[in-house]
Amino acid sequence: MSDAAAMNTYLRDGGYLPGADFSAADFERLKAAPRDALAAELDTVLGAHGYEEFFNPALVIAGALPIAERLLGLEWDLIATKDPSFILSDRPIPAKLGEGFSLGLSANFGVLVRQPARTVHEKTIDARPATKGEVQAINTEVRSRAREWICGPGDWIADF
């Protein structure tokens, strides 16, 4: 990004911080931060603007519509397992909604979300059986996003 205005536009348009209004000084501070100190600098800049690290109700409300519109434009497959198989984490959706993602919804249901091959139209919600590979892929993806805790169906979760 070239400047603070471009960064603010990117953050607002992406639904990350709908009210983003960072100054040129904030931008330069982040730009100058060494890679290993960038996360701490970002926390400092966000904190100075009133953004909380884990939960800010005003941001959740402001970001709901842009995020919902983005999610509704993706293709969804609900998949099911006979036995409890999916793990759940504290970060179900990736920080950036790119090409797609997957997650467990419960011990027996998961969802695959991806860019559609063609325009998404309304369709009946129906679950299809999950393959073993889909379960493993979802659990791997969910584990990669988890920050603090993971829960799952049974003691086998400790083996991850």
The pLDDT of 20-29, averaged and rounded, is: 87
Q: How far apart are CA 145 and CA 142, in angstroms?
A: 5
For residue 130, what pLDDT is reported? Answer: 93
pLDDT, residue 134, reads: 94
Task: Report d(CA 40, CA 21) in Å as an integer.
Answer: 19
Q: Where are the beta strands (DSSP E) in the chain?
A: 75-80, 88-89, 100-104, 109-114, 127-129, 150-151
pLDDT (tens digit per residue) in 51-64: 665 556 676 677 77
Q: Quick one: average pLDDT of 103-107?
A: 88
Global pTM value: 0.52
Mean pLDDT for the chain overall: 80
Spans of all domains in the chain: 4-64, 73-159
